[in-house]
Amino acid sequence: MLLSRYLLPVLKETPAEAQIVSHQLMLRAGLVRQMAAGIYAWLPLGLRVLDRIASIVRREQDRAGAVELLMPTIQAADLWRQSGRYEAYGPEMLRFPDRGGRELLYGPTNEEMITALFRDCVKSYRDLPRTLYHIQWKFRDEVRPRFGVMRGREFLMKDAYSFDMDEEAGRASYDAQFTAYLRTFAAMGLRAVPVRAPTGPIGGNLSHEFHILADTGESELFYDSALDEVDLADSEAPARLRALYAMEAEEHAKVADCPVPAARLARRRGIEVGHIFFFGSKYTESMGMEVQARDGQLVHPLMGSYGIGVSRLVGAIIEAGHDEHGIVWPDAVAPFDVGLVNLRVDDDACSATAADLQQRLFAAGKQVLHDDREARGGEKFATMDLIGLPWQLIVGPKGVKAGTVELKRRATGERHELSIESALSRLAG
């Protein structure tokens, strides 16, 4: 991709409306633009990150046996009247009539819709268990949209829904999502703390939030610092994490005799990037979903729902990975793998070498952003550091004469002068 043909409106100044570093950097690095309060356009660079995050989420959902579908953003009010949540949800729900006066809403979540959909497809215990998910835009008319995509009004969520015949099977589905969440966040280079949580308007009595630790997080957490030591790659990790104590400060305050010795009690701020719930027959009962059990009895299947804030994660990853020069993307979600910097676009040898490198990296399956603009070296380096691609490959006239290029690792700042072939094999080998 040639930067001279791209849309990358970087800002030199920090925008006054952005209070936290991820929001500042998302605006400065040209990832998003606000189109209305809490409503964002995703510019090309931001969209690439959003898509990569969504594909990691999708891969881990598929691995856990969840099945993808796609439900609409717009829902009928009548669906929500069946569950009794239409009135209960309150002013966060965006409601509007169609031309025929029928009441519609922009979905803030999809428990009702999936229950109705699945109810009409399934009649027997043989069709269960199932976990279905989609990755779809939601709208919540938040009182205080803030911190950019972190608390937007329109945002992208992965929401999964499990249906099981009994409590034991339902808990197994919950555990499968719990494990998938740990893998999902670890694959993005993040360490997530699972926190026992109240269930709020979704309902039920078993729930965990997943938090990324960051000083700018909206929640205050108390947890057993032994959590920090758990090896996420260990198959026992979910069980160990669930056995350890972690709560939001508000909940912690309701417990007088905290079981964690003071010396081990950690107090940190966190960003909630995921939230899972097990709520039994709350929706299947109110919406009349019954299936025939093995013994012929009709039963209401038990449900769980499982959310990941896909667009919020873009902000959370930046909160966890940046320095004074800009963003430092983990390799797994970076918008491009390599930023190729041609320092002298007016020099034929430099331009020919850069074009050749772009072509060879592309052929090796690497995503390359090639800065071929007529601009000073200092400006090109500042842009590359700001947008935070994992590798920078720098082509200049002296090096080209000697058959070398410079390779810089964004995260560490390490630079190496290498022959063109060894730079290529380092990046694409």
Q: Which residues bind ligand P5A (CB under 6 A)?
A: 109, 140, 142, 151-152, 155, 157, 159, 202, 272-275, 277, 305-307, 309, 311-312
d(CA 426, CA 364) in angstroms, rounded, equals: 12
Q: Taking the complex as a whole, how short is the minimal distance between the CB of residue 285 and ligand P5A, in angstroms? A: 18
Strands (E), 48-175: 67-68, 74-76, 94-97, 103-106, 130-139, 154-164
Q: Taking the complex as a whole, how short is the minimal distance between the CB of residue 311 and ligand P5A, in angstroms? A: 6
Q: Taking the complex as a whole, how short is the minimal distance between the CB of residue 274 and ligand P5A, in angstroms? A: 5
Q: Judged by CB, which is closer to ligand P5A: 149, or 427?
A: 149
Cα dihedral 51/52/54/59 (nearest 10): 140
Q: Taking the complex as a whole, how short is the minimal distance between the CB of residue 85 and ligand P5A, in angstroms? A: 11
Look up residue 344 and give its two tokens.
């002298």
Q: Taking the complex as a whole, how short is the minimal distance between the CB of residue 357 and ligand P5A, in angstroms? A: 38
d(CA 295, CA 281) in angstroms, rounded, equals: 19
Q: Which of 118, 112, 122 is nearest to 78 (CA)?
A: 112
Q: Judged by CB, which is closer to ligand P5A: 109, or 353?
A: 109
Strands 298-299 and 32-36: unpaired
Q: What is the DSSP letter of 362?
A: H
Q: Taking the complex as a whole, how short is the minimal distance between the CB of residue 157 and ligand P5A, in angstroms? A: 5
Contact between residue 131 and residue 162 where contact means Cβ atoms under 8 Å apart? yes
Q: Judged by CB, which is closer to ligand P5A: 150, or 369?
A: 150
Residues 6+ apart with CB under 8 A from 246: 193, 194, 195, 196, 221, 222, 223, 224, 227
Q: Taking the complex as a whole, how short is the minimal distance between the CB of residue 360 and ligand P5A, in angstroms? A: 40
Q: Taking the complex as a whole, how short is the minimal distance between the CB of residue 310 and ligand P5A, in angstroms? A: 8
Element (H, E) at 307: strand 302-309
Q: Judged by CB, which is closer to ligand P5A: 141, or 290?
A: 141
Look up residue 201 and give its two tokens.
């308007």
Q: Judged by CB, which is closer to ligand P5A: 45, or 192?
A: 192
Q: Taking the complex as a whole, how short is the minimal distance between the CB of residue 236 and ligand P5A, in angstroms? A: 25
- Quickly count: other Cβ atoms within 10 Å of residue 327's Cβ: 26
Q: Judged by CB, which is closer to ligand P5A: 46, or 309?
A: 309
Q: Measured at CB, which residue is nearest to ligand P5A? A: 309
Q: Judged by CB, which is closer to ligand P5A: 41, or 402?
A: 41
Q: Judged by CB, which is closer to ligand P5A: 274, or 335?
A: 274
Q: Judged by CB, which is closer to ligand P5A: 52, or 373?
A: 52
Strands 338-342 and 368-371: parallel
Q: Taking the complex as a whole, how short is the minimal distance between the CB of residue 40 and ligand P5A, in angstroms? A: 10
Cα dihedral 209/57/283/138 (nearest 10): 90
Look up residue 335 and give its two tokens.
């918008």
Q: Judged by CB, which is closer to ligand P5A: 133, or 336?
A: 133
Q: Which of 108, 106, 114 is nearest to 82 (CA)?
A: 114
Side-chain half-sphere exposure of 195, counting CA atoms within 13 A: 34
Radius of gyration, alpha carbons of the chain: 25
